[in-house]
Amino acid sequence: MGIYLTTSDLIALLNLVVTSIIGIWLAIIVNRNFTINRSIKDYYMQEVKDIRKFYADFLRKIYMGQLSAKDIKEWLKIASNRIDCVEYSIKDSFLINKCDIGKIHSEIQTFITGTDEFNENYRLQYVVFREDTKNQILSFHIKLLNACTELVVRANKARKHGWRYRICKWLKNKFNNR
């Protein structure tokens, strides 16, 4: 009394086992990659939100006339570094070609440091901007907010760089470090 399996029964059994293994493997790998990818995107979205808040606090102080020219200049340098770091990192992680936050920040920086109020009151304790200057700064801020929103949308839609990009980057780093 034994169990006799025909060739077709063995093939069907083997097919069932292989299909189950592939299904389990795919479920584990895809879920892991999705979780990692989602976590990275969430991190960058939080960074962009932090930049927005960072900027809003800065502009509130400008509007209230609570900053000196030197404070403004220092803040703009710090913001430049932070924005450059986030933009570089997000472009390095995902297939995102366009990111305008740094460009708009540069426009804001050039505008603010080029105003008469900034230059005439450079040595004073506080810089007080005229209403028309504040309105222009506000229009730049709106552009910056739009760029932040656009980057979040792009990051959510973006795919990670493929294996070719990672290999080329690895080779570039390997040969540049010699």
Alpha-carbon distance of 112 to 60, in angstroms, equals 14
pLDDT (tens, 9 = 90+) of the chain, 178 residues, equals: 567 778 887 888 888 888 888 888 777 776 666 677 788 888 999 999 999 999 999 999 999 999 999 999 999 999 999 999 999 989 888 888 888 999 999 999 999 999 999 999 999 999 999 999 999 999 999 999 999 999 999 888 887 766 666 677 777 777 776 5
Alpha-carbon distance of 9 to 6, in angstroms, equals 5
- Number of other residues whose CB lies within 10 A of the CB of residue 104: 19
53-87 exposure pattern, b = at least 16 Cβ within 10 A, e = fewer:
eebeebbeebeeeebebebbeebbeebeeebeebb
Give the length of the chain: 178
The CA R_g of the chain, rounded to the nearest whole Å, is 27
The gap from C-alpha 45 to its chain's centroid, in whole angstroms, comes to 6
pLDDT of amino acid 21: 84
pLDDT of amino acid 31: 67
pLDDT tens-place string over residues 56-79 = 999 999 999 999 999 999 999 999
pLDDT of amino acid 13: 83
DSSP string, 15-60: HHHHHHHHHHHHHHHHHHHHHHHHHHHHHHHHHHHHHHHHHHHHHH
Task: Please state the pTM of the whole predicted model.
Answer: 0.74
Q: Where are the domains of the chain?
A: 41-176
Q: How far apart are the first and last CA of the chain?
A: 71
